[in-house]
């Protein structure tokens, strides 16, 4: 986890005085500005930075083919793993990170932004697939675990990873109060858990939407409004974004807020465990999880479909799968992957998650969000 890596690098750093460290930081930062002013062409430096590992491919003489990967702003990969892939396949990968990925792909489908796209999930995938954004591809690596999460029979999309949106719980708060932790969505509307939960708006936050979908999966398309009326009466607090609700309102984060229950990710608890701790201070409420699956897909109209297929295979390869927990806080679909030690210790993927048919989500999502908005936000 990054949390641990920070403390590691902190310990590794030279034993300089704090004052000295700040002075160095400031000096470096001003030097960076001067350097920034001096470099006249960012495009050139960007290319050299991105491509330098791939400029010496194994196949001597042949120019590497270019492939563009369109992804979301949370995409991350170990540069060395990517460079190895580029060298082995004589490719150069350009990564474009975009906000609102699914909609960008739909908008640009006649002249796609790149060859392959990673990061679209089961709450938005249908919109893009129905718009004809993707060209089906069946990877030979599907049987390693991806096929279990297949999107459709054609393999319009290929599952790469999954994660759960779950209510997180602050263990210390409940043990201090001598109150039993809730274990299900039904518990959340009980009087003893009044004013304890903070969530996010389904209209502006992906975790908020996932939690709404969890309640619909639980209470049914006809019953969810009744459940939310009860949840509202029981004092759920809604913020617009995950950042604010988790960092400010949740008592289990460093923000030390006053609500011990928060809608967050199943992978959040390991991030709150201090180094060397035997237990994580937070955990998940098992019966509240909605599973999000992230996919990669070849873009219809890709300039280089062969290379795009290789990128799909790369994302199912053990090297890429192994990096997923640490780099993007998600579980790999490949069951053979070894999870990081703190995940094994602090994060358990719930056995049961709430599922909802992607086609149903695609059909009714906007109406649900609108109805939810009217009901909860007023």
What part of residues 294-353 is at the interface with another protein (CB under 8 A)? Answer: 323, 326-327, 329
Backbone angles phi, psi at 46, to 5 degrees: -65, -45
Beta-ladder partners of 165: 265, 290
Beta-ladder partners of 65: 91
Chain positions 97 to 116 lying near another protein, rule: CB under 8 A, are 97-100, 102-104, 106-108, 111, 113-114
N residues, the chain: 378
Chain positions 243 to 272 lying near another protein, rule: CB under 8 A, are 243-244, 246-249, 251, 253-258, 264-265, 267-268, 271-272
User: Which of 100, 102, 110 has the alpha carbon at shortest distance from 129?
Assistant: 102
Residue 124 vs 149, nearer CB to another protein: 124
Sign of CA dihedral 112, 368, 263, 219: negative
- The per-residue DSSP string of 146-196 comes to GGGG-SSTT-SSEEEEEEEEEEEEEHHHHHHHT-PPP-BTTGGGSGGGTT-
C-alpha dihedral, 10 to 14 to 17 to 22, nearest 10°: -70
Residue 76 vs 234, nearer CB to another protein: 76
Q: Binding another protein by CB under 8 A: which of 88, 274, 306, 363?
A: 274
Element (H, E) at 291: strand 290-299
Query: What is the spatial distance between Cα 135 and Cα 313, in angstroms, rounded to a whole number?
Result: 15
Q: Binding another protein by CB under 8 A: which of 55, 59, 74, 235?
A: 74
Q: Residue 296 in contact with residue 116, Cβ under 8 Å? A: yes
Residue 186 vs 258, nearer CB to another protein: 258
Site string for another protein, 18-57 (x = CB under 8 A): x--xx--xx-xxx-xx-xxx-x--xx-xx--xx-------
Chain positions 184 to 213 lying near another protein, rule: CB under 8 A, are 201, 203-204
Least gap, CB of 226 to another protein (angstroms): 21
Least gap, CB of 318 to another protein (angstroms): 17
Only one residue has tokens 């986890």, namely 1
What is the rounded end-to-end Cα distance, in angstroms, of the chain?
Answer: 39
- Taking CB under 8 A as the binding criterion, the range among 71-79, 175-183, 292-300, 353-361 that sits at the site for another protein is 71-79
Least gap, CB of 284 to another protein (angstroms): 12
Least gap, CB of 210 to another protein (angstroms): 13
- Taking CB under 8 A as the binding criterion, the range among 56-64, 93-101, 150-158, 293-301 that sits at the site for another protein is 93-101
Residue 149 vs 193, nearer CB to another protein: 193
- Per rule CB under 8 A, is residue 367 in the interface with another protein? no
**Residue 116, CB-side half-sphere exposure with 13 Å CA sphere:** 28
User: Which of 369, 351, 352 has the alpha carbon at shortest distance from 361?
Assistant: 369
Six token digits for residue 100: 């609102």
Query: What is the spatial distance between Cα 342 and Cα 323, in angstroms, rounded to a whole number?
Result: 14
Residue 118 vs 149, nearer CB to another protein: 118
Least gap, CB of 82 to another protein (angstroms): 9
Chain positions 132 to 151 lying near another protein, rule: CB under 8 A, are none
Residue 131 vs 150, nearer CB to another protein: 131
Least gap, CB of 92 to another protein (angstroms): 12
Q: What letters, b where the CB count within 10 A reaches 16 and e where it falls short, cover 313-337?
A: bbbbeeebbbbbbbbbbbbbbbeeb
Least gap, CB of 53 to another protein (angstroms): 12
- Per rule CB under 8 A, is residue 161 in the interface with another protein? no
Q: Please give the size of the binding site for another protein, defined by CB under 8 A.
A: 94
- Per rule CB under 8 A, is residue 66 in the interface with another protein? no
Residue 128 vs 141, nearer CB to another protein: 128
Residue 188 vs 376, nearer CB to another protein: 376
Residue 91 vs 271, nearer CB to another protein: 271
C-alpha dihedral, 310 to 313 to 315 to 321, nearest 10°: -140
């Amino acid at each position: 986890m990054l949390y641990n890596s920070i403390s590691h690098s902190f310990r590794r750093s030279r034993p300089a005085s704090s004052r000295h460290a700040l002075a160095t930081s400031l000096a470096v930062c001003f030097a960076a500005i001067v350097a920034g002013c001096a470099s006249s062409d960012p495009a050139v430096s960007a290319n050299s930075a991105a491509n330098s590992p791939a400029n010496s491919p194994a196949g001597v003489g042949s120019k590497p083919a270019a492939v563009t990967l369109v992804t979301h702003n949370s995409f991350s990969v170990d540069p060395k793993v990517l460079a190895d892939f580029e060298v082995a396949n004589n490719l150069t990968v350009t990564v474009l990170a975009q906000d609102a990925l699914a909609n960008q792909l739909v908008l640009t489908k006649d002249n796609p932004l790149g060859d392959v796209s990673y990061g679209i999930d089961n709450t938005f995938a249908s919109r893009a697939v129905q718009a004809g954004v993707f060209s089906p591809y069946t990877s030979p690596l599907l049987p390693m675990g991806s096929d279990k999460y297949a999107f459709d029979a054609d393999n319009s999309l290929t599952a790469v990873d999954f994660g759960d949106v779950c209510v997180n719980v602050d263990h210390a708060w409940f043990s201090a109060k001598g109150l039993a932790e809730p274990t299900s969505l039904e518990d959340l509307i009980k009087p003893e858990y009044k004013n304890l939960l903070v969530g996010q708006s389904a209209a502006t936050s992906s975790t908020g939407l996932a939690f709404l979908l969890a309640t619909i999966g639980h209470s049914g398309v006809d019953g969810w409004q009744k459940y939310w009326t009860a949840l509202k009466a029981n004092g759920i607090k809604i913020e617009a974004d995950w950042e604010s609700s988790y960092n400010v309102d949740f008592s289990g984060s460093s923000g030390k807020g006053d609500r011990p229950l928060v809608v967050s990710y199943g992978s959040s608890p390991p991030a709150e465990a201090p180094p060397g701790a035997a237990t994580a201070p937070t955990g998940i409420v098992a019966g509240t999880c909605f599973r999000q699956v992230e996919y990669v897909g070849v873009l219809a109209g890709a300039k280089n479909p062969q290379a795009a297929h290789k990128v799909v295979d790369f994302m199912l390869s053990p090297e890429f799968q192994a990096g997923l927990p640490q780099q993007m806080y998600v579980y790999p679909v490949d069951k053979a992957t070894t999870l990081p030690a703190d995940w094994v210790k602090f994060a358990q993927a719930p056995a049961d998650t709430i599922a909802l048919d992607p086609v149903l989500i695609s059909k009714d999502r906007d109406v649900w969000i609108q109805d939810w908005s009217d009901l909860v936000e007023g």
